[in-house]
Structure 1
Amino acid sequence: MSYENCTRRSSLERAVLEDLLINGLRDLRNDEVINGEKIKVKVVGDLNLVSDESRREAAALEEHTASYSGGSLHLGVCYSGEWERQVIAKGLVAPSISAGVPQIDLVIRTGSMRRLSGFFPLQTSYAELYFMDLLWPELTREELKKALEWFGVQKRNFGN
């Protein structure tokens, strides 16, 4: 969920997105891949824009996976690179909200847009971009598996 989705959508749209977020966070906490592969999950963004329930679910997921070291999954919730720059420029946080986010290897973008839309601009400089013509709630394990298989055969040269 982008910062813009959290601030510019109607209250009805935000309520639907928030229900999806809450259910998604709960599902991730119990996910066999997250737990089996020991994937640490971090939620990054302006969580003041979501409900107490969403914040509790995000904290529970992060706490549940805090000791995991098999990889990392960063979820942008009410996040955009522009929002992060503005917060830093105002001196509200230092040095960076996304400072703990490692370089991102793969960005999976759902929806019809073929752009990053401010998604972790400092961490995606050498990321592979995978676009899907479906909306985030429609993302299935099979679609995710296709994206990961595609990523597995990419030749990465990191700018060389």
Structure 2
Amino acid sequence: MSLKESILEERLPYHIGVIMDGNGRWAKQKGMIRAIGHENGTKAVRQTVEACAELGVKNLTLYAFSTENWKRPKLEVQTLMKLLVSSLKKEIKTLQDNNIKLSAIGSLHTLPKKVHKELFEVIEKTKDNARMTLTLALSYGSREELICAVKEISKKVKNNIISPENIDESIINEHLYTQNLPDVDLLIRTSGEQRISNFLLWQIAYAELFFTDVLWPDFTKEHLYEAIIEYQKRERRFGKTSEQLS
């Protein structure tokens, strides 16, 4: 039985998040500049998106560019932005053909005008697609997201729109970038690093974490299947005991 055939359809994660790490190291290992690693990483993106859609995963969120990534060398940042624009243009047909809706979260206003324009054109064109939602986290940082949410809620409290006594998880969820997305069920990080790196800190409260040594450009559908199979082996208790679940 193949890995794909081993996956239980009824126990698919509803929302998968991916920290796509290792592009630079992949290029360095091959004696190439980091930009080549990012270019090859787009192949892994395509494979992961296609695999999730084929399996029936409803939500996939990719950590494409963090708020901290702006601190990288200027040439690398420029390359990443150009790559993003070209990828969006290339993949629009794939998104449409596979009925995939594109979304984006983060401080999107900080993106270069050309990137912002191209991004929202694709978002508009795919807004009615319903098979799966692909969300790109761009210029994204979870701490910044939480700060923005606190500020918005504070304003509403000050203006008597929200009562402090009524602030609960649902109120906070409504003020996050991910307000239209469910919590993450499975979080995958490539490259062997085992940290969260300021990604969806609120949304992964009960996520199953899967770390792999595979560098992102080498990540294939088979690696995704391995992560999902591992996820399906785990008992998700959400604070309860095994006996309570059974």
Instruction: Give the Cα separation in 1 of the matches to 2:226 and 2:86.
Output: 23
User: For residue 85 of structure 2, what is the amino acid of its counterpart?
Assistant: I
Structure 1, 19-28 or 67-76: larger mean CA deviation = 19-28
Larger radius of gyration: 2
Instruction: Give the Cα separation in 2 of the matches to 1:67 and 1:61.
Output: 11
Structure 1 unmatched runs, 5+: none
Structure 1, 85-94 or 22-31: larger mean CA deviation = 85-94
1:67 corresponding residue in structure 2: 128
- Shift in CA distance, 137/90, structure 1 to aligned 2, threshold 3 Å: farther
Structure 2 unmatched runs, 5+: 1-64, 157-174, 241-246
Matched, 1:111 2:174: no
Instruction: Give the Cα separation in 1 of the matches to 2:225 and 2:124.
Output: 26
What do you get for the CA RMSD once the two structures are aligned?
3.0
- Shift in CA distance, 51/71, structure 1 to aligned 2, threshold 3 Å: same
Instruction: Give the Cα separation in 1 of the matches to 2:91 and 2:76.
Output: 22
Instruction: Give the Cα separation in 2 of the matches to 1:25 and 1:147.
Output: 26
1:58 corresponding residue in structure 2: 119
Structure 1, 19-28 or 53-62: larger mean CA deviation = 19-28
* 1:145-156 alignment, distance < 5 Å: 145-151=225-231, 153-156=233-236
Instruction: Give the Cα separation in 2 of the matches to 1:64 and 1:158.
Output: 38
Structure 2 length as normaliser, TM-score? 0.53
Deviation at 1:2, TM superposition (A): 1.0
1:82 corresponding residue in structure 2: 143
**Residue 209 of structure 2: SS of its match in structure 1?**
strand
Deviation at 1:109, TM superposition (A): 1.8
**Residue 26 of structure 1: SS of its match in structure 2?**
helix
Give the paired residue count.
157
2:177 corresponding residue in structure 1: 97
- Shift in CA distance, 16/28, structure 1 to aligned 2, threshold 3 Å: same
Cα-to-partner distance string for 1:10-62 (whole Å, 9 max, x where unaligned) = 21121122233223333442336x742x3322110112222222212221232
Q: Which has more helix, going by share of residues?
A: 2
Q: Is the 8 A contact 1:74 1:101 kept in 2?
A: no
Instruction: Give the Cα separation in 1 of the matches to 2:132 and 2:118.
Output: 20
* 1:3-42 alignment, distance < 5 Å: 3-5=67-69, 7-31=70-94, 35-36=97-98, 38-42=99-103
Cα-to-partner distance string for 1:78-113 (whole Å, 9 max, x where unaligned) = 111111123334549983323223212222223342
Instruction: Give the Cα separation in 1 of the matches to 2:215 and 2:118.
Output: 22
Q: Is the 8 A contact 1:41 1:61 kept in 2?
A: yes
- Shift in CA distance, 145/109, structure 1 to aligned 2, threshold 3 Å: same
Instruction: Give the Cα separation in 1 of the matches to 2:94 and 2:224.
Output: 14
1:128 corresponding residue in structure 2: 208
User: For residue 29 of structure 1, what is the amino acid of its counterpart?
Assistant: I
Deviation at 1:143, TM superposition (A): 4.0
- Shift in CA distance, 72/35, structure 1 to aligned 2, threshold 3 Å: same
Identity of aligned residues (%): 31
Q: Relative contact order (alpha carbons < 8 A, sep ≥ 6): 1 or 2 greater?
A: 2
Instruction: Give the Cα separation in 2 of the matches to 1:55 and 1:141.
Output: 29
User: For residue 123 of structure 1, what is the amino acid of its counterpart?
Assistant: Q
